[in-house]
Amino acid sequence: MGIEMCGIVGITGTKQAVSVLINGLERLEYRGYDSAGIYVNDQTGQDYLVKRAGRIANLKSALTPEIQGSAGIGHTRWATHGVPNEINAHPQYSADERFYLVHNGVIENFEQLKQEYLADVKFQSQTDTEVVVQLIDRFVVDYEMDTKSAFLKVLHLISDDSSYAFVLMDRQTPDTLYVSKNKSPLLVGVGDGFNMVASDAVAMLKETHNFMEIEDREVVIVKPSGVVIRDFDGNEMKRDTFRVDMDASAADKGTYPFYMLKEVDEQPVVMRKLVQEYLDTDGSPVIEPELLSRMQQADKLYVVGAGTSYHAGLIGARLFERLTGIPTQVFISSEFAYEQPIMSKKPFFIFLTQSGETADSREVLVNVKKQGWPTLTITNVPKSTLSREATFTLLLHAGPEIAVASTKAYTAQVALQAILAKGLGMAMRKQLAIDFDVKQQLGLVAVGMQAIVDSKDQLESVAARYLAQPRNAFYIGRGIDWSVALESALKLKEISYVQAEGFASGELKHGTIALIEDKTPVIGIITQDRTAGLTRSNLQEVVSRGASVLTIASKHLAQPDDTIVLPDVDELLTPLLSVVPAQLLAYYTSLGKGLDVDKPRNLAKSVTVQ
């Protein structure tokens, strides 16, 4: 069946394709890592297909020096249906070995296409992709169509609800990449003497900084000498290039053992970057007036996100309500998509998404747009799908986040929502917003984050002592400390596989406390004046049931035996600090267990299926 989330890279021109493809795939490995493959053609009739189950490292070790070419395609896969084995890995190819195809997405009507056109063909894989490539071959060989027409014909036959990013190669036109996309990310990289295509600009940054967008349902012909884009009716589309100035090394691990640790360490820099991008010298937010005016007209803000982004939204809702007085509600995107609540009269939607590609969130955006409501996407990836499709975009400027466990994107989302809430509150002349010195506070946050990341040794030994053995753990807190508890627990479970829960500390005694056993770790987050005493009482309740209690407390609320003491910042921004020790505790627990911190089992960075 479908291969829904994966990374694609292709190149044609003067470069050695194999190293470019492998390098690109390594950068895309965050998108999926259970099998990988490349196809290269040396333009003199010699071509090579290499596929392996498992990580890209397996594919690399299968490569021999004679495997060379100047055009090729590569793929790294995260399977949701069909075993992640060599046969199901991409590229898929036609039975006569003329056509090779990499694909991201799901062809919903592949069974029907198979029965209608390919009933006599014996398939070797379980993939919908093989159906597509065999069908292209059928139209070329049996119906004598040229490759471009056959490709277009198949694109027309694919049902509208399907998603795809395709890059096709034909042995008979070996310098040409045939490209199309629908709902799955793909963009062109423009070079000198070569051109490329990939799911994400980071896969091409080593070769070029100039890119070209591809819209849904276009056919793009990529040759060494140029790129031609047409719509499905054959009209040529003019497309400007845009430049991404990011340094390729921004997506490198450098001397870090794992991306996650690098990304945790980068958080103070990201805070300063947001100050620089969004606040002027006197600390006033610099935000598009039209965005502020549309938000001001709203009677309710709807914040939508998944996973960590949803957790950042929980903090954002608090910030918007306090600083602007506009009622704000947060939704898990996959829930909202299927059960739209009764809406207020003038809603305004804020989508939080690090990648800008999350299918669940996009589903909501598409529906909301149909109903004519204004939308803002807060994302880390310029030109990403949700960014392009929303009325407004604000960028996180956090630099590429590669580790599956999101860290700096979360803190950037919280900080940017604080800036936006301040800007909106000021525009509405709300005194609390006027008094909230977000610039000064984010400066304090950056310094505080630095102090926490500098205390790694302490966090490493806490993780070794309390989290290495137990199967279960709890983070508890009230209000925004509870919201951080949810994110902290997600971090721990996704990379260390400890069954962790984030809990409202007052709620524990209403049932879940039954799970507390001797030495169950319970980590209390204590940063809010109003709730500190109550959370401490709740911690006492679990101490008496044998739990090993740890605390993450703000300095002015700290007691002598607190485990981690956070520098003081405004109560609205404490999540930016309290989450950092939790990120590092998760990191060291995973590391201590010898797990692959950046690529936890069963997960992929960008979830482009619903």
Residues that bind ligand AGP (CB under 6 A): 306-309, 353-355, 358, 361, 404-406, 494, 606-607
First to last CA, the chain: 15
Nearer to ligand AGP, 147 or 308 (CB): 308
Q: Centre a 10 Å sphere on the Cβ of residue 16 and count the other Cβ atoms it contains.
A: 13
Nearer to ligand AGP, 328 or 353 (CB): 353
In angstroms, give the least distance from the CB of 494 to ligand AGP.
6
In angstroms, give the least distance from the CB of 235 to ligand AGP.
33
d(CA 54, CA 76): 9
In angstroms, give the least distance from the CB of 169 to ligand AGP.
30
Nearer to ligand AGP, 89 or 500 (CB): 500
Using the Cα atoms of residue 567, residue 570, residue 571 and residue 576 in order, give the sign of their dihedral.
negative
The maximal CA–CA distance of the chain, rounded, in angstroms, is: 81
Residue 78 tokens, joined: 């995260």
Nearer to ligand AGP, 326 or 381 (CB): 381
In angstroms, give the least distance from the CB of 456 to ligand AGP.
20
8 A C-beta contact, residue 101 and residue 89: no
* Residue among 317, 265, 607, 326 nearest 482 (CA): 317
Within 241-337, residue ranges assigned H as helices are 259-265, 267-278, 289-296, 307-324, 333-336
Burial class (CB in 10 A: 0-12, 13-18, 19+), 297: exposed
605 is catalytic: yes
In order, the DSSP letters of 390-417 are SSEEEE-------SSS--HHHHHHHHHH
Strand-pair category, 548-554 with 521-526: parallel
User: What radius of gyration, in Å, describes the C-alpha atoms of the chain?
Assistant: 25
Using the Cα atoms of residue 455, residue 260, residue 553 and residue 422 in order, give the sign of their dihedral.
positive
Nearer to ligand AGP, 70 or 353 (CB): 353
In angstroms, give the least distance from the CB of 540 to ligand AGP.
31
Considering the candidates 6, 183, 408, 430, report the single residue annotated as catalytic: 6
Query: Which three-class secondary structure string do you get for 143-182?
Result: CCCCHHHHHHHHHHHCCCCCEEEEEEEECCCCCCEEEEEE
In angstroms, give the least distance from the CB of 410 to ligand AGP.
8
In angstroms, give the least distance from the CB of 312 to ligand AGP.
8
In angstroms, give the least distance from the CB of 553 to ligand AGP.
24
* Residue among 219, 240, 275, 198 nearest 439 (CA): 275
19: three-class secondary structure by DSSP: helix
Considering the candidates 15, 491, 599, 605, report the single residue annotated as catalytic: 605
Nearer to ligand AGP, 40 or 484 (CB): 484
- Sole residue written with tokens 């084995």: 85
Spatial strand order in the sheet of 499-504: 499-504, 472-477, 521-526, 548-554, 564-566
In angstroms, give the least distance from the CB of 353 to ligand AGP.
3
Nearer to ligand AGP, 12 or 606 (CB): 606
Strand-pair category, 472-477 with 499-504: parallel
8 A C-beta contact, residue 510 and residue 536: no
Nearer to ligand AGP, 565 or 597 (CB): 597
Could you give the C-alpha distances from 139 to 136, 160, 174, 283, in angstroms and in order?
5, 20, 19, 62
* Residue among 552, 488, 473 nearest 519 (CA): 473
8 A C-beta contact, residue 398 and residue 380: yes
Nearer to ligand AGP, 169 or 586 (CB): 586
Query: Which three-class secondary structure string do you get for 364-388?
Result: HHHHHHHCCCCEEEEECCCCCHHHH
Spatial strand order in the sheet of 328-332: 328-332, 300-305, 347-353, 375-379, 392-395
Nearer to ligand AGP, 195 or 488 (CB): 488
In angstroms, give the least distance from the CB of 361 to ligand AGP.
5
Would you name the residues annotated as active-site residues?
6, 605
